[in-house]
Every structure is written in C-alpha cells, then in structure tokens.
Amino acid sequence: AQTVTQSQPEMSVQEAETVTLSCTYDTSESDYYLFWYKQPPSRQMILVIRQEAYKQQNATENRFSVNFQKAAKSFSLKISDSQLGDAAMYFCAYRSRNTPLVFGKGTRLSVIA
C-alpha cells in the first residue's frame, strides 16, 4: 500500500523567512500525483500545490514551490517570504488511478512575527 511520511510534526519560521517541509512516499506505481494541502484552524482543507509525477519540472505557485525527487520519492514544500497567514497544518498527499488520496500525518507550521 502507498504510504506518505512527514517526519516533522512541528516547524516554525520567522516572518519573511523561508521554510521547507519534508515529505517522502512509498509506491511501486509510475503514474501518480502529489499534493500539499493546508489546514488552518477553520478545518477547511485548501490545496496549496500539486505535482504530476510525469513532469520533471517542479511546480510553483507564487510563494510556494516544491522539490520533487522522483527517484528518491521525496516531495518537499518550500514557502518563501513566510506570512502570518501561512500558519497552519500542512499535509502531503499521494493519489493515483488505483489509490484514493492518501495523506501524511501533517506538519504544524508556526510563523513568528
């Protein structure tokens, strides 16, 4: 079964600085999708960024970018110019044709003013 591992239960970053959240996954499939979701205290899950495994180019969405290392099965999220509103739980997730969306246990990000 596919598993997603987030090894950092908690992280903190100073406002305006950069932080990287780690994620690794285990799969034998070659075609899949990877995601980072943000969950603020409101509980609403919000998609931050997605990456198709067949694409070599790392996805970027404004201040959010990923470092996708397919051979290493690693998918880290970099948040640049961190803002107070970035404070939330961040979940890494995996999805494929044969697997519904599977989540890691999450990383709680605190942003220090």
Partner 1 sequence: GAGVSQSPSNKVTEKGKDVELRCDPISGHTALYWYRQRLGQGLEFLIYFQGNSAPDKSGLPSDRFSAERTGESVSTLTIQRTQQEDSAVYLCASSVDRVTGELFFGEGSRLTVL
Q: Which is nearer to partner 1, 50 or 78 (CB)?
A: 50
Q: Which is nearer to partner 1, 14 or 60 (CB)?
A: 60
* Residue 41 touches partner 1, criterion: CB under 8 A: no
Q: Which is nearer to partner 1, 83 or 105 (CB)?
A: 105
To partner 1, the closest distance from the beta carbon of 104 in angstroms equals 6
CA-based nearest residue to 26, from 2, 44, 55, 10: 2
From candidates 59, 91, 94, 109, binder to partner 1 by CB under 8 A? 91
| Contact track, partner 1, 51-90, x by CB under 8 A | ----------------------------------------
Number of residues that bind partner 1 (CB under 8 A): 19
Q: In angstroms, rounded to a whole number, what is the distance separating the alpha carbons of residues 107 and 113?
A: 19
Q: What is the 3-state secondary structure (H, E, C) of 67-95?
A: EEECCCCEEEEEECCCCHHHCEEEEEEEE
Give how far the C-alpha of residue 3 lies from the chain's centroid of Cα atoms, to the nearest Å.
Answer: 14
Task: Measure Cα distances from 63 to 2, 25, 26, 81, 82 in Å.
Answer: 29, 24, 27, 7, 8
Residues that bind partner 1 (CB under 8 A): 33, 42-47, 50, 91, 95-97, 100-106
